[in-house]
Amino acid sequence: MLNLVIFGPPGAGKGTQADLIAQKLNLIHLSSGELLRQELANGELGQEIQKYQDAGELVPDSLVVRLIENAITKNLDRAGFIFDGYPRNLNQANSLDKFLAAQGLKLDLVLNLELDEQDAIDRIILRSQTSGRSDDNAQTIGKRFQTYQTQTLPILDYYQNHGVLTNIDGRPSIAEVNSQILKILAE
Ligand code: AP5
């Protein structure tokens, strides 16, 4: 099994690259943001989730961890996972390591997509014309970046210390970023 995390600020291209890698390597793409949006549409917890997403804050760990663990459990017969937008704080990073270890699995690599805030905001603003996402507006985007800086970015040290972190330049075109990633995975 190959288990990857794709990491980076809002709008860095995590979802875009995770789709391409999952297709190429036959991995399951698990996006916590997407799982929450599905839950929002179908589940009883919809209003609660929307409140956090629209405020640009993290949805409580208890809910997100459960959604991810259920999705992993359903797909243990597959070639591996690419986690997108998860984990997003130290508690989630620890939970993921423990849960994978309990299945005899581990994280192989964390791909950190580096993009500065202004470039990322420009991408999200462009996407907002078609995404239909209620959190793709200037005010929420600002809050999403604050949350990223204070709660998510510190996990990079955790992964650096575990020897699984690799940095990717997120600025080039989608195809170029993808070939950088595939080159790293081939090594
Ligand atoms: P989530 O859905 O994870 O949003 P995000 O992290 O803010 O990331 P985005 O989806 O905005 O961007 P992306 O990096 O995937 O970029 P994309 O490929 O789309 O989370 C939303 C909310 O859910 C959170 O704020 C929180 O409330 C909650 N949540 C989610 N996970 C959680 C967790 N684990 N715990 C608690 N709460 C959680 O690309 C962006 C745009 O740029 C696209 O239009 C794309 O076409 C374009 N693009 C991509 N790459 C390039 C490129 N190389 N060049 C030019 N354009 C590009």
Domains in the chain: ranges and CATH:
2-186 (3.40.50.300)
pLDDT at 46 over 90: no
Task: For residue 177, give the ligand 1 atom closest to its CA.
Answer: 53
Average pLDDT over residues 12-19: 98
Q: Which pLDDT tens digit goes with each residue over 48-59?
A: 899 999 999 999
Nearest CA to ligand 1 atom 43: 127
Supply the pTM of this predicted model.
0.97
pLDDT at 72 over 90: yes
- pLDDT band of residue 16 (cuts 50, 70, 90) is very high
CA distance 102 to 44: 29
In 3-state terms, the chain is what percent helix, strand and coil (to 5)?
60, 15, 25
pLDDT at 43 over 90: no
User: What is the CA(84)–ligand 1 centre distance, in A?
Assistant: 8
Nearest CA to ligand 1 atom 27: 53
Q: Which pLDDT tens digit goes with each residue over 143-179?
A: 999 999 999 999 999 999 999 999 999 999 999 999 9
Q: What is the pLDDT of residue 47?
A: 85
Which three-class secondary structure state does DSSP give residue 2? Answer: strand
User: What is the CA(75)–ligand 1 centre distance, in A?
Assistant: 23
